[in-house]
Amino acid sequence: MVNKMNKNEMCDFRKITGQIVAELKEVHLADYLNFQVPGASGFKVLASQEVFDLKKILLLVSGIPEETGVWSYTLLQMGREDDSSMRPYFEMARNLDWGIIALNPHGGGIERGKSEYHLQMETVLGRLFEDDPSKTVVTLCFSAGGGMVFEYLNQHRAMAGKISGAILIDTPPPPLLKRSLTAEVQALIKKTVLFGLEDEKGKLSMWARATASVLGIDPEPVKAAWHGELPDLLIDEVAGFLKRV
């Protein structure tokens, strides 16, 4: 998808995203948090108000090349801003007394890549558990975010052991072999649900099938015309998952 978008389109998408985030700030649902990392570039994430005071946190990790605040530039290109906006997730989390932190690995451009995902995971999770080791943290990974998160957690066993659950939405697999998964990641997999895009012919997406094979999870199919529609379609299922944690 990245290669099909010119610079003007990317600027337009970022402008729309900025407007969506501004609306979240106006109604006190979310705001940017800035992190400074010694020896690395700083970054900002989108978070619920007073998020570090909350005991339960949903960590959103989205795909490429979207900036935090929206799920899909494809939907923005179609004029479907409401379906792409993360606002329903912030509203749902507030109603359940959960906080949200949405990572922003492409806030500074898509070239930041895998290392930026890992840097933001390490920094944000470190801060959360430093403040309160007993916090409940669930990761919700959409698209490319899923492979990045599980690769990171497989490299950081102690951190993987602190995660209370994971929700994967049509994600590619991490670059791992099943036999290389740590005991902590294997334990997390038992608390993980995987949703995959199902097309009009009843075929599950290649990404979801590959992730299911690597992680050993039975995927739950979701009928949709577009990959980017899935987060909006699954908000009730996500809310149900959080209620069970």
Digit-coded pLDDT (tens) for 172-200 = 999 999 899 999 999 999 999 999 999 99
CB atoms within 10 A of CB 52: 16
pTM of structure? 0.94
Average pLDDT over residues 53-74: 96
- Encoding tokens for residue 160? 């993987």
pLDDT at position 88, please?
A: 98
Per-residue exposure over 175-210, b if at least 16 CB sit within 10 Å of its own CB, e if not = ebeeeebbebbeebbeebbbbbbbeeeeebbebbee
In degrees, to the nearest 5, what angle opens at C-alpha 86 toward C-alphas 235 and 36? 125
Question: Which pLDDT band holds residue 1 (cuts at 50, 70, 90)?
Answer: very low
Tell me the C-alpha to C-alpha distance, in Å, between residue 204 and each of 78, 82, 199, 210.
24, 25, 7, 10
Per-residue pLDDT band for 40 (boundaries 50, 70, 90) equals confident
Distance of alpha carbon 227 from alpha carbon 206, whole angstroms:
12
Cα 231–219–147 angle (5° rounding)? 65
What pLDDT is attached to residue 113?
62
Contact 44, 33 (CB under 8 A): yes
- Is 54 strand, coil or helix? coil
Domain 2-244 has CATH 3.40.605.10: no
Q: Is the pLDDT of residue 205 over 90?
A: yes
Which residues, listed in sequence order, are joined to residue 192 by a DSSP beta bridge? Answer: 166
Q: Name the H helices within 96-156.
A: 113-131, 144-155
pLDDT confidence of residue 38: 85
**Cα separation values, 72 from 3, 86, 101, 173, Å:** 15, 10, 18, 19
